[in-house]
Amino acid sequence: ASANRIERDVVIIGAGASGLTAANALRDAGHSVVVLEARDRVGGRLWTREIDGATLEIGGQWVSPDQDALIDTLAELGLETYSRYREGDSVYVAADGTRTRFTGEIFPVAPETAAEIERLIALLDGLVAEVDPAAPWDHPRAAEYDQVSWKQWLSEQTDDVEARDNIALYIAEAMLTKPSHAFSLLQALLMAASAGSFSHLVDADFILDKRVVGGLQQVPLKLAERLGDDVILNAAVRRLEWTGGADASGADGTPIQGVVAYADGGIEVAAKRAIVALPPNLFERIDFQPALPRLVQQAHQHLSLGLVIKVHAVYATPFWREQGLSGTAFSPYRIVHEAYDNSYDGDPRGTLVGFVSDQKADDVFSLPAEERKARILASLADYYGPEALSPEVYFESDWAAEEWTRGAYAASYDLGGLSRYGAHQTTPVGPIHWSCSDFAPEGYQHVDGAIRLGRTTAAAIAEQLRG
Ligand code: FDA
């Protein structure tokens, strides 16, 4: 046996919120664990950094009131939250460049368009209420809803282009970070159902409610601290050997025996069970031996991460507040489609955060860095005025360039994939279980979902190991 051979009940691959939650739950249930992490840090898509003297949330940061699993975890870890600054008017920029201040949720558009937006929100709330986020594929019209793109469906509902563009934004640019033609109505309904309703996605005060003092990466950092030496960094798992039936219950007659994970640094872990706690676009980077079953290999190819650049701009003061602006800004027609006051708790400076999504991100990434920055800041200046052009600190979170993520925020299926494969996405393969925010019913794509799935996966394994 190798000098670095480790034996545990469960090996967890990936030290993100999901993997670390599962590891702690299993250890609390009396099982031995080890977490193997590819990066030189824990947290995955959560990363709080000091950049030129400013504390920035490079990845996930906001907590919404329905996210019980995350809220419980924050309380358990002794972490405190604060509210996002939101006093004053929001800003909307129309297709012709007109800038309008507004309050409330509905963008300041012509009354007929506002009425269409309200009608579509009500229609969507009705459809979403029929979808179980734990099983959207069981909806009687799942296959039909999964064949039509979000864009196509919206164009069938209304001829009002601005109403369509605004409604499309809440799921496309703002959540799945894919163009609205690239995913289905069913996928859009799941996104909204996982957040409780479509109205919740429209309500920035709900969806972007609180932040965590010290940063949201505190969650994985504290969870990892509890595990001590049982979290190993710089240990990318390259190969996973598994034995036992493809059916986790062993019902196909082959008893589950276990796994051996081979990671960088010559590390070998033999365990009874494995949890693969990665975004699904990275599953294929592990060499599974034997290969995964046909359906699983197919399913994984139909999941991909969206793309968004999170832009941070820190100014000497939060100058927009003096103009009576909240910092909240939207436009389906600008490079930065949404932006917020993201000033860090206790820092007298003002921070704006903006998002550049999908094909707009491709476009600006094709430019030299200085030109990209100039374009993005010009887009912020469209919302807040020329002062936005000169931040003290400027930073772009570029998750697509991160080898161990490769996109943002999370994964979704291509057209037809959710109804075809979704029901199988978390079914264990022999001793191998799957856990990530990308497969979560409630809190899908969010830290809350990563934690929820971490808990359920751990509970399922603990149950198997007991029996
Ligand atoms: P995650 O990707 O975090 O963890 C997987 C881990 O596996 C990583 O640490 C990775 O390095 C590791 N890994 C990969 N391959 C490996 C291998 N072969 N071997 C070993 N380790 C391997 N959510 C939210 O609730 N509120 C928000 O405001 C936001 N905003 C936001 C902004 C941005 C820019 C991003 C990128 C994401 C968000 N999110 C968010 C989403 C949220 O951050 C995300 O859903 C969860 O953090 C995902 O946690 P997981 O544990 O599922 O995966």
- Ligand 1 midpoint to CA 198 (Å): 24
> pLDDT tens digits, residue range 342-400?
999 999 999 999 999 999 999 999 999 999 999 999 999 999 999 999 999 999 999 99
Residue 467 has a pLDDT of 74
- Ligand 1 midpoint to CA 176 (Å): 14
Give this complex's ipTM. Answer: 1.00
Residues with C-beta less than 6 Å from any ligand 1 atom: 13-19, 36-39, 44-46, 59-62, 236-237, 277-279, 282, 285-286, 310, 397, 399, 404-405, 408-410, 436-437, 445-448, 450
Mutate which of 437, 448, 451, 453 to test ligand 1's pocket (most atoms within 8 Å of Cβ)? 437
Nearest to 240 by CA among 432, 4, 438, 6: 432
Model pTM score: 0.97
Cβ burial, residue 467 (10 Å; 0-12/13-18/19+): exposed
Pairwise CA distance, residues 317 & 361, whole Å: 28
391 Cβ contact partners less than 8 Å away, ≥ 6 residues apart: 313, 314, 315, 352, 377
Residues in the chain: 467
The atom of ligand 1 lying closest to the CA of 450 is 52
Pairwise CA distance, residues 94 & 411, whole Å: 30
Residue 249 has a pLDDT of 66
Residue 247 has a pLDDT of 73
| Weakly modelled stretches of the chain, pLDDT under 70 | 1-3, 248-251
Here the contacts of 91-94 (C-beta below 8 Å, separation 24 or greater) are 91/325, 91/328, 91/329, 91/330, 91/383, 91/384, 92/329, 92/330, 92/331, 93/329, 93/330, 93/331, 93/333, 93/334, 93/382, 93/383, 94/162, 94/331, 94/333
Residue 250 has a pLDDT of 66
Q: Crossing angle, helix 185-194 and helix 161-171, to 10 degrees?
A: 60
CB hemisphere CA count around 390 (13 angstroms): 5
228 Cβ contact partners less than 8 Å away, ≥ 6 residues apart: none
Q: Which residue has the tokens 């894919």?
A: 178
Helix (H) or strand (E) holding 82: strand 81-83
The atom of ligand 1 lying closest to the CA of 36 is 20
Mutate which of 36, 37, 45 to test ligand 1's pocket (most atoms within 8 Å of Cβ)? 45
- Ligand 1 midpoint to CA 313 (Å): 23
- Ligand 1 midpoint to CA 18 (Å): 8
Residue 2 has a pLDDT of 62
- Ligand 1 midpoint to CA 276 (Å): 13
- Ligand 1 midpoint to CA 44 (Å): 4
Pairwise CA distance, residues 194 & 439, whole Å: 11
